[in-house]
Each structure stands twice: as C-alpha cells, then as structure tokens.
Chain A
Amino acid sequence: MSLPASPFAYVPGSSPLHRLSALPKLVWLAAGLVFCLVALHPLPLLVVLGAAWGLAAWAGVGGPLWRALRVLGPLAASIVVLQVASPSACAGGCVPLASIGPVPITAEALGRGAAFTLRLLAMASLALVMLVTTRPSDLFGALRALHVPYQVALVLATTMDLVPLLQRELGLVLDAQRARGLRATGLGAVVPAAVPVFVAAFERVGRLAISMEARGYGSGIPRTSYRTAAVGGRDRALTVLGAAAGAVGTVAGATMWGTGSVPPLAVPGWAAVAIVVGAAGAFCAVMAVGLTAVARA
C-alpha cells in the first residue's frame, strides 16, 4: 500500500543543495529566518520568498514545496482577513479603499496583512527547502555539531517521523471504525479514535525504545557519526559566511526595513475586495478539504 509522503520528508537528489552539508545550510537558514523576522517591509520578504523558490527549483524540490504551500498559503492568507477585520487596525489617518458590508478595507490593514502573509510563506519556504534537501541523519549531525544535546536532536527526528505516522494511524482507525458502522464524522469521531491511535503510538514508542537501546543507544560511549565526517574547509567557510550574512542581514533588515510601520498597500477598491474575499475563500476551501479528509463519511 503506497501512502502519500509527508511534506517534511527528505527528497533524495544530487543537486548542489543536496550535497551541501547540513551545518552551513542550518546556519544560512537561521540567517534567513532572522532576517524575515526583523524586516517589516513586504519587498525584502518577497525577495526572500523568491530566493527560496529559486533554490527549490534549482534543487528539483519545487513539487514537494508547492504541495506544502498549497495548504499553508491559504492558511497564511487568512491573516489578511484578520487584519482587515481587526478594529484596532488603524492608528489614525487610514486610507479606506472599499468596504465589505460595514467592514472597511484600508490600505494599511491590507499592507500589514500582505507583509505578515509574505513573512510566513518566506520563512516556511526556506525551512522546507532546507528540510527536504537534507537527510534527517545529516541534520542531526549538524545539530550535534552546534552542541544541541543528542537526545533533543533525536526527539526532533522521531517527532518528524511521528507526525505522518500518527496521521496515517488516525486514518486507519477512522476507516476501521467506519467499517464497523459507527458514527465517524467530524470531531465526534476523531476524539474516541484518538485512544487507539495513542495506544498504538505508545506501544510503538515502547518498542522503538527497546529496539534503540538494544542497538546501543544510550551506551554512554561518546558517539561517532557515519555521515558528518564530511565537514570540510568549504563547509566551514560557508558556515562562517552564513553567520556573517545573518548578522549583516539582521542589521540591514532592521535599519532599512525594520523601523516605522508597514507601508500601506493602496490598490483600487475592487482589487481590495477581491484580495480579501479571495483570501477568505481560499482559507475556507482548504479547511473544508482538510476536514472532509479527516472525517470522510
């Protein structure tokens, strides 16, 4: 039985991004994420988003990234709706563009919504490109090189494994219960289904612990690593460069785009309405698809 892979799963490949060792990738990712957090202006965020997509296309992982963002995009876009609906959105002198019923759409709210959405998408895209081009074991090697405790790194590994696993398990439980003629729709079905899912998960984790300890995990002997021996001079240089870029980016981002307020987004009234309605519609569509997938009856 073939099941769809998790959007976070490693996609094998041989692109330079795949071959680059995990440590510089992690440092560059951190630099990018920090930059996204300090920059308020949508323009630099758009550039980061574009760069992430460029990297994904270069590494041949555009497909998985697109699949993940198809869901994440509309969810992020709902921020636009929230910003518009928020009563405290305006600090005086707002430019109303249009209104939907009693709710005015202002250029300021639209600008903030667009910037938030872009920030989320840019950060998620960067992180996903990094995740899907890095073997989990390399990633943990890199976390270890950054002196993250082994247990924490391993918890990260098993958690990432566990999420799709729990999803799959939940699907099987709901199926099995529907086949017994029991009401399996909506949240009413998901809650009782959680019991066997967690029992199965606990049993699995228990067996995983047995299997891992029996293979020497926790022996107290300093661990060696099969893959991370490849941290060469080039990787070290890239790591240092990444750290420097992060520092420069943070300062630049904060001084050039990090002060003041988010610029308003002045578009024609009809376009403003279209953006808000479109965002709300996409959000509802994704939620509806998600909920029916969870409890198909």
Chain B
Amino acid sequence: MTLPGDVVIELEAVGFRHVAADRPALDRVSISIRAGEYVGLLGATGAGVSTLLLSLDGVVPQLVRGEASGAVSVLGRDPRVVPVPAWAGDIGLVLDDPSVASTQATVADEVAFGLENLGAPTATMGLRIATALESVGLAGFEERSPATLSGGELQRLAIACALVTGPRILVLDEPTANLDPTGRRAVYRVLRRLNRAQGVTVLVSDQDAESIASDATRVVALGAGRVVADGPPASVLGDPTALARHGIRPTGAASVAAAVGVGTPVPVTVEAAARVLARRSPAHRPPVDGVAGAAERLAELASASALPAEAAADGGPALVLVRDVAFRYPGATGQAVAGVTLSVMAGEVVGVAGANGSGKTTLGRLVNGLLRPSSGRISVDGMDTASHPVRMLAAHVGSVFQEPAHQLLATTVAEELALGPRALGVSEARIGERVRALAEALELDDVLGRHPLRLGRAERKLVALGAVLAMAPRVLVLDEPTTGADVRLAGIVEAQVLAAAARGCAVLVPSHDMAFLGRVATRIVVMGGGRVVADAPTRAVFADARLLAVAGLEPPAAARVALAVAPSGPSPWPPVSLEEAARVLRRAGPDDGPGGPPGSAAAESAW
C-alpha cells in the first residue's frame, strides 16, 4: 500500500536505444514521481515519450527490444526484471489506438480479461467489472459489443480494462490521438476524476497540451530523449518559446498570450489567458449584453451561409461539385451521408468538421471516387465520379488517407514519391526534379532511402502527402492530415496545403484539428449525422457556439481566448488563427503593456 506523497516511480539516468536505431530514444532521464501526482508528458515525435511510458511496466525492454542503461524502480521493483504480466495489478496501460486492444465479444468480457488473467475469484468479477465501467461512464454497457462503440467510448473501455485490476498507477500513451473533441473531453474528465477522487497516479502523454494544462499537477517535457522541462503546468507551459525550441506545441492560449506580449510565464489555459488579456485591455471587458451579441452573430452567420457556395470564393472555377448526394454502405441500415451539397473552388481550402461518425471520411471517399453516390452527382475537375474509374480520377484528385500505411507500397521513400508521376508517364528527368523538390519541402531528405513503413505514423503521412503531391493533382482530399503530428510535421503539412491552394488546387480537409482548420481553411463544412449542418466561412463557424456545441466541436484556443475576452470585437471577430488573435488583441488593447515586445518567435512556430 502506498500513501499519497510516497515516491512510486524513480528513474535514474535511464537510457534506451531501440534495436538498429542510430540514436538513443532516452538519454540519461532522471525523474521521480510521487503517489497521487497527475503528470502530463509532452514531446515531439521521436522525443522518447512513448519509450519512457512503456518502460514503467517492462514493455520496454521486455517486448520492445533494445539496449537499456540506468535504473528504473516502480513501487520498489525493477520493471526490467519483473515480467510484464506481473505488473497488471499495479499499473494500468492504455495505448493510442483503442480498437487494437479489443479481443472479446462483449464489453464485460473485455473488462473481465484482466481479472481472469490474475485469477480473481469469479464471484467478485461482476461487481468489479460494473465498478470499473461506472468509473469511466460506461455503466450499463456490459453486454454491448466493443465493435459498436464510438472511438471515445472504446478508449474509455480501455481505461476500464486497465483499472479493473485495481492499479494505483495509470499510464496512457496519447490516449486521445484518434478521438474527436467530445471523445477527448470525456477521456480527460475520467482521468481527472480518477486522480482527484480516487488518488490514482496518472501519467499521460499528448501532442495537444490543452487538457494537460488544465488537469495535470505536473508537466514533464522531453526533447531528443532528455528531460528539458519539469514542473507545474503553469511554469512549464508558461514558456512557449522554450517548448517550441523542442518541437512541442504550447497550448493555444499560451501562444496567443505570448504573441500579444504578455510576459513569461504566460497564462496557459483559455480562462487564465482571457482573464489576463481582459485586465490588460479594459475596453474589452465582456459587455453585459452578451446574449444580444450572440444573436447578432447568428444573424450574420445565417446571411453568410445563405450565399450560394459558388459565390463564397473569389471567382475561381468549382473543381469539386457535390450535388444532393446520398450514400448508404452495403448492408448498413441508415445512410452514411444524405442530402450533401457543396463545392470547392480552385484555390480554396475547405475544412470538413464533425464528430466521429458524422460522415466526414465518407464524404472524402465520395469525392475521390472510391465510393459512388447512391443518389445525386459529384463532379471533380469536370469529371463525373460515377462514370470515370478511380484510376483515371487519380490524376485529378489526390487523396491522403487516415491510415497512411495503406497507400504506401514502394520499398524506399524516394521510389514512393516517384511512383505516381511514373504511372502518369512523366519523364524520368522531371520525376527526379519533383522528388528532390518534394523531399526538400517535406523535410524528407534524410529518409529518402528508408522503407516508408519503417517510419513513424506521422512521417508516413508526410510521405503519403508527398506521393500525392508528386502527381500534381488539381484537387486534394486530405483526411485528418495532422493526426499525431508534432509542431514541425503539422507546420510542413500547413505550408503544403497553403502552397497547393496558391497554385490553384481545390483542397478538402476532413479534420478534428480545429486549430489547423483555422489556419488553412477559408470555409468549414460542419457535418452531423451524415448531413451538412453548416457551410460557412471559418470565422462564422468559430463564432457560432451553439452550432459547435451541437456538432460536438469547439473552436481553437485563439478564437476561444478572444471570445472569452469579448463576445464581439472589432471585425474580423473572432480571430481564426494565432497570428490574427495576437494582432486583434494587441490592436484592441493598450499596446503599451508592460509585457514588452510580442513573443514573435513563439508565435511563428507555435499553434
């Protein structure tokens, strides 16, 4: 039995090098963690966060092989010696993709698995399963099949599975990477309750620091395998410039505050940032008639979306035209999408937002011709998708899929980039040029000779994007292009999307990443239940709190901070990106604030 405050995890100069890796994943990491702490771990792709977390119950190095050094002690035992299964009663582990963990026919059997393995008496199982499910908000789900659960529910089920054996430590490696905002919030609510009410020690990693900023009691940041910051969230996350140096995305609120010129440590949550900024600029204290302001915004929004979609863009031809399209998967009871009408002009980037299962991915697969509408018409670059084979459409519409491994098939990255143009009959000399240019733009120079499937998921996604761009399509469909991406990778994707639009491409981006959509999308199509519930300029969508709540979304921190400072403000309101937020908030406030010059370094590299 551990008491609150006892050291439960002790790492001393821990190093680890994966088999065949050229540099260590962990490099002399020393941390000690006490019972009852809630530790958020941040780090860019490859910084060693996963390796660190998996070292705690022996998965590294027992199942993931490599060369280990230093000393690890968890609850007084050595995870390198004690077999992985023997930790199940003390440490619960949750990985990023909940769907792989499920092997059983029902939720109850799934949760029972851990108890059965540890030889728990059958008579006690029912109650323990019910308790675990209740603590993650899945009471009554016992007889459901895991296959019928949403992503957020599946991940909460995974937490219940980890919890049921009564561990005092919960380790979660990017548990919300594949979830929509509603699913994310539900998972973090559960973690917070477990930590605060039941005293469970929580270690959780995330590429997005928002939830960690508000819930964690401590933040550990890793850079290239080393601890680069360790302390309370307010101090670690309060220095966005330092985090950005290590490729860690600060919270949106911190970035806004830094860009406006608040001194370090900057406020890290939306609420704190809004408080500080409102103090700095008294003119922007929320007006009392906040409700009237909201009504005005709705009216503005209604008039904006009443415009025909074609008129929304500045005159370019419509490269994607979707007219009253419905689609039903074979054997499915309901329609996956219905009554969908939208268009994307040349040079336009249109985001598609909505909860998991709202039809975003289906819409993308209809536009690239993989699915043919059950009714209605889709034309892409002037070609009707129903009457042209997908292979012919591929020269016109390039798609990056949610799972990039599916579309990679060459044995080296360089070959992968050359494959598409070669199929189109482009000359070898031109192909060479394109590959070189793409490798530079996507920062893939160092991995050109590697097998694409040996790269991490976010890097695979870049290779897939490069392979598609190499074919110079006029339409791009990029499904969740920033999933799991750190600041650097997300920045590359952003630059490529904007560059493609500048060349006259029409870009459709189904994504949960509202900060990304705020930066790249001119318009956002909000989907719910397979229908378009809104199609409006990005700003109008971010301003419509009710619409977003109904669709299970929330605007990015830049807009949330600004809206919290003032429900309405000088046009354009609310700001859709960090730079815009910094500009309008600075302009609006007394620009002689004591914060000094705006933290432009953070503003450039941060989200």
Contacts and interface: CB of A to CB of B under 8 A. Distances in A.
Same complex origin of A and B: yes
Interface of A: 1-4, 10, 12, 135-137, 157-158, 161, 169, 172-173, 175-184, 192-193, 195-196, 199-200, 204, 206-227, 229, 297
22 contacts: A2-B336, A12-B143, A12-B145, A135-B106, A137-B109, A158-B103, A176-B407, A180-B407, A182-B420, A184-B391, A200-B406, A211-B100, A214-B91, A214-B92, A215-B114, A215-B161, A215-B162, A216-B89, A216-B118, A224-B119, A226-B112, A297-B391
B103 A207 contact: no
Given A177-B409, A179-B399, A297-B391, A161 B100 contact: no
A297 B389 contact: yes
Interface stretch (B80-88, B269-277, B432-440): B80-88
A137 B357 CA distance: 29
B55 interface: no
Contacts of A181: 391-392, 394-395, 420, 423-424, 471
B122 interface: yes
Contact of B453 (A196, A211, A222, A227): A196
B5 interface: no
A4 to B, nearest CB: 5
B104 A221 contact: no
Contacts, number: 200
Nearest to B392: A181
B165 interface: yes
B60 to A, nearest CB: 10
Nearest to A209: B63
Contact of A180 (B103, B108, B336, B467): B467
Contacts of A209: 63
B577 interface: no
Name the residue among A172, A213, A220 with the largest chain B CB count within 10 angstroms. A213
A196 B404 CA distance: 10
| Closest 10 A/B residue pairs (Cβ) | A181-B394, A216-B88, A216-B117, A226-B112, A176-B407, A219-B85, A214-B93, A176-B406, A221-B119, A215-B114
A175 B114 CA distance: 37
A217 B85 contact: yes
Report the contact-size class of chain B (Cβ under 8 Å from the partner).
35 or more
B408 interface: yes
Nearest to A226: B112
Interface in B400-438: 401, 403, 405-409, 419-420, 423-424
B141 interface: no
A4 B330 CA distance: 8
Contacts of B116: 223-226
B188 interface: no
A1 B336 contact: yes
A1 to B, nearest CB: 6
B120 A224 contact: yes
A181 B394 CA distance: 5
B407 A137 contact: no
Given A10-B105, A179-B390, A219-B85, A210 B59 contact: yes
A213 B84 contact: yes
B332 interface: yes
B420 A180 contact: yes
Given A172-B403, A210-B59, 12 more contacts: A3-B329, A136-B104, A176-B407, A181-B424, A196-B406, A196-B408, A204-B100, A214-B85, A218-B83, A219-B119, A223-B119, A224-B119
A50 B95 CA distance: 48
Given A135-B105, A181-B394, A226-B109, A216 B370 contact: no
Contacts of B112: 137, 226-227
Contact of A215 (B113, B122, B143): B113
Contacts of B379: none
Contact of A225 (B105, B122, B423): B122
Contacts of B115: 224, 226
